[in-house]
Amino acid sequence: MRFSSDRKIALMTIICSLLLCTGSFAQTPYLLNDTTIIHRLDKQVDVFIDSTNRLLLEQISKPEFQKHFHRRGNLTFGYLKSSLWLKIKTKTYSPHTNWYLEIPAPFIEYVDFYQLEGERWYHSAAGYYRKHSVREIPHTGHVLPLQFNKEDSISTVYIHITGNSPKTFPVLAIEKEKFHEQVRWEDVGYGIFFGILLVMFFYNLFIYFSLHQGNYLLYICTIICTFFIFSSASGYGGKFLWPEQPVMNFYAGRLSLAIITVFLSIFTIRFLEVRKYSLVMYFILLSLLPLAIVAALLIVTGTLYSAGNNLITLSTLVYMATGIVCRIKGNKTANFFIAAWTIYLTGGLLLTLRNSGVFDFNFWTTHFAEIGATMETVIIALALADRYRKLRKEKEEAQREALLLQQNATEKLEEKVKERTEQLSRANQELNITLETNRIQTNMIEKKNAELDAFFYRISHDLKGPISTSLGLSFLARKEIKDELALEYIDRQQQLSERLNHIITGLINLTKLNHTDLKKEKIDFIKLVDECIESSRSLPHFNAITFTKDIQNNIEFHSEWTLLNAIIQNLIENAVKYSGPVSPFVKITVRCQGEWVTIDVQDNGQGIPDEHQSKIFEMFYRATQNSNGTGLGLYILKRSVDRLKGTIEMKSKLGTGSVFTVKLPSMMEDTPVTH
């Protein structure tokens, strides 16, 4: 079969064109002629994967290096750690038309454009981790204005892409006006998305302040995290919120994934009442909390940048499973929960598979995550509202039941009140009779006490004279009598007379002061205690006792000296009389504690049996029958303490000793102070 000359020329042209297209070094420029469409150049891009991550433009732009570039047909590389070099040639027949080259993947960390202008390469920087002020076109994606040679109207561009983010993206060529029109539509779309998040934020915030329920506060926190995640991932955060702080893209995006896991896990537990329906899912949700902390540490340290994405993928599956389990076990609220997370999971799955290189870069794989997040936010808000409606309905039913119960209870209560009123009336009459009886008895006791005080006062005065005479005679007898045995008897008689005189004096002072006002004076406790110890010298075994004093200095205390002397004197004498046979001691402690002065007198004597401790302050009561006391000392002590509006306590253990504690108010009302 013979070919005509025209057919031979056409065949040779086709063969030459095919040969030129097979080698990267003979890349055919893509013709940009239609300004009304967006040209996708993925199949016209030559690619070189730099596994060394070290090659520079000077090396890869050499003619002999062009054989290493290859045509792939698509730009889906997944989580490729090696850097990419792209080579793109475009051509236009309208040099005055402005064209942009765009990579609409905001998450790529570093993008470097190198465009041939004349004999030199012009560099333009872009990328997730670069300031907007250094970009040629401040946009959410990475954009380069194309420049065409005047001679052949061809543009040659090398693109260097580095970083750890997924390297799945398209390369687009867009006429300038078409580009701005597309930007406006994107701004409208994301404006609606962020607007919905903002509305949901204030809606739930209003309900939280109205109801003060923690679920709404937790959900508000998840909305905030969602806002930062998508602000970072979409590039709008870097463009409008922190254009000169690209590191915020890192914290706002990746760290928020770990933080939102914490809030969502706690929200799921509370919202679905997971512990009530499934302990297994409850503990699985709790395990996500430490995993979130680990993921945050891996992200911050740079060990695993995708830890947040991996965690949110796992968490979404757990939330879905939790909703299904709770629904199976009877929680109807889980219907909303399952629907919300199904949409969110679908969007996240499409995004993950696109980033991994399984799916192509298109509208649904790129933006269904935002659609899913929007639907999830709205549905969960509706679920919260539905739950609130059910709670309000249950509350109203409970209130109706409570009202019925209250009505029944009110009727029964009225009957009870009537019955109790009658009983109370009878009890009140009985109480009045009892109070009148107690008043009469109190008056009788007060009258008896007054008569008793008057009796003690008279008899004490009657005894005072003979006792004083006896003491005087004993004093004179000691001067005249020389016989030692007689002197010993006289000494004993004098000691007993002095002891009796002291008791009589105490009774006189006590009964006298009950009928006169107290006269306060400043008390020197050190001097007073020393005098009381010295006045006890006539008591048996006095010389064998070791006295210990612990008295606080400079105590500001004003009191009636006679009564206070009687109190301390009786405490010391009582401790001396009942001191122990082996190493006897008496310890006197005086302390000022706030508005009270505390006096402690401790001995190591025989102690007081339990059955006698409640009666030892009664008149003429003696705890031990072998004691030679009168039974008046502690009675006088108690009456004196009462007169000074104080309290007295006693702790005693048989065979160990006793501690008497007197507490007196440091300032007594309505008593004059003498100086």
Amino acid in position 238:
G
Residue 543 domain-assigned (yes or no) = yes
Query: How does residue 628 score in pLDDT terms, banded at 50, 70 and 90?
Result: low
Q: Are residues 539 and 645 in the same domain?
A: yes
CA distance 613 to 605: 15
Average pLDDT over residues 598-615: 83
Supply the CATH number for residue 628's domain: 3.30.565.10
Q: Are residues 231 and 172 in the same domain?
A: no
Q: Are residues 150 and 52 in the same domain?
A: yes
Angle among Cα 403, 408, 413 to the nearest 5 degrees reads 115
Residue 521 domain-assigned (yes or no) = yes
Q: Are residues 138 and 268 in the same domain?
A: no
Residues with Cβ within 8 Å of residue 542, at least 6 apart in sequence: 536, 576
CA distance 95 to 115: 16
Task: Show the DSSP H helices in 49-175 as ranges.
Answer: 57-60
pLDDT tens digits along 301-356: 878 877 888 888 888 889 989 999 999 998 888 888 888 878 777 777 777 666 66
Alpha-carbon Rg for the chain in angstroms:
52
Domain that holds residue 97: 30-181
Residue 19 domain-assigned (yes or no) = no
Average pLDDT over residues 500-516: 59
pLDDT tens digits along 55-90: 999 999 999 999 999 998 888 888 788 999 999 999
Q: Are residues 277 and 149 in the same domain?
A: no
Residue 412 domain-assigned (yes or no) = no
Stated as kind and residue range, the H or E segment containing 259 is helix 256-271
CA nearest 586: which of 626, 638, 550, 621?
Answer: 550
Can you give the pLDDT at residue 446?
63
Residue 318 domain-assigned (yes or no) = yes
User: Which three-class secondary structure string do you get for 371-438?
Assistant: HHHHHHHHHHHHHHHHHHHHHHHHHHHHHHHHHHHHHHHHHHHHHHHHHHHHHHHHHHHHHHHHHHHH
Q: Are residues 137 and 226 in the same domain?
A: no
Yes or no: say if 264 and 221 are a contact pair by the CB < 8 Å rule.
no
CA nearest 172: which of 366, 42, 30, 28?
Answer: 42
CA distance 217 to 658: 63
Is it the case that residue 100 has pLDDT exceeding 90?
Answer: yes
Can you give the pLDDT at residue 511?
60
Domain boundary among 324, 352, 374: 324
Task: Show the DSSP H helices in 481-560 as ranges.
Answer: 484-513, 525-535
More confident residue, 526 or 628: 526
Q: Are residues 154 and 217 in the same domain?
A: no
Average pLDDT over residues 107-133: 91
Q: What is the DSSP string of 34-48?
A: -TTSPEE-GGG-EEE
DSSP state of 545: P
Domain boundary among 291, 324, 357: 324
pLDDT tens digits along 548-586: 999 988 888 888 877 788 888 888 888 888 887 788 899
Q: Are residues 126 and 217 in the same domain?
A: no
Q: Are residues 172 and 256 in the same domain?
A: no
Is it the case that residue 359 has pLDDT exceeding 80?
Answer: no
User: Which three-class secondary structure string do you get for 460-499?
Assistant: HHHHHHHHHHHHHHHHHHHHHCCCHHHHHHHHHHHHHHHH
Can you give the pLDDT at residue 278?
93
Length in residues, the chain: 675
Helices and strands (DSSP H and E) totals, the chain: 16, 18
Is it the case that residue 112 has pLDDT exceeding 80?
Answer: yes
Q: What is the mean pLDDT of the chain?
A: 81
Residue 385 half-sphere exposure, CB side, CA atoms within 13 Å? 11
Residue 113 domain-assigned (yes or no) = yes
Supply the CATH number for residue 75's domain: 2.60.40.2380
Is it the case that residue 591 has pLDDT exceeding 60?
Answer: yes
Amino acid in position 271:
F
Domain tally for the chain? Answer: 3
pLDDT tens digits along 424-464: 778 778 877 877 777 777 677 666 656 556 655 656 555 65
Query: How does residue 506 score in pLDDT terms, banded at 50, 70 and 90?
Result: low
Average pLDDT over residues 512-529: 73
Domain boundary among 296, 324, 352: 324
Q: Are residues 252 and 168 in the same domain?
A: no
Enter the tokens of residue 608.
């007081």
pLDDT tens digits along 14-61: 443 333 333 334 568 999 989 999 999 999 999 999 999 999 999 999
Yes or no: say if 111 and 160 are a contact pair by the CB < 8 Å rule.
yes
Q: Are residues 143 and 248 in the same domain?
A: no
Query: How does residue 175 score in pLDDT terms, banded at 50, 70 and 90?
Result: very high
Is it the case that residue 3 has pLDDT exceeding 60?
Answer: no
Residue 455 domain-assigned (yes or no) = no
Can you give the pLDDT at residue 432?
78
Residue 36 domain-assigned (yes or no) = yes
Question: Side by side, which strands form the sheet with 585-593?
Answer: 546-551, 585-593, 596-603, 657-665, 647-653
Amino acid in position 15:
I
Average pLDDT over residues 374-385: 76
Q: Are residues 554 and 656 in the same domain?
A: yes
Region of 594 please: left (phi>0), alpha (psi -120 to 50) or beta.
Answer: left
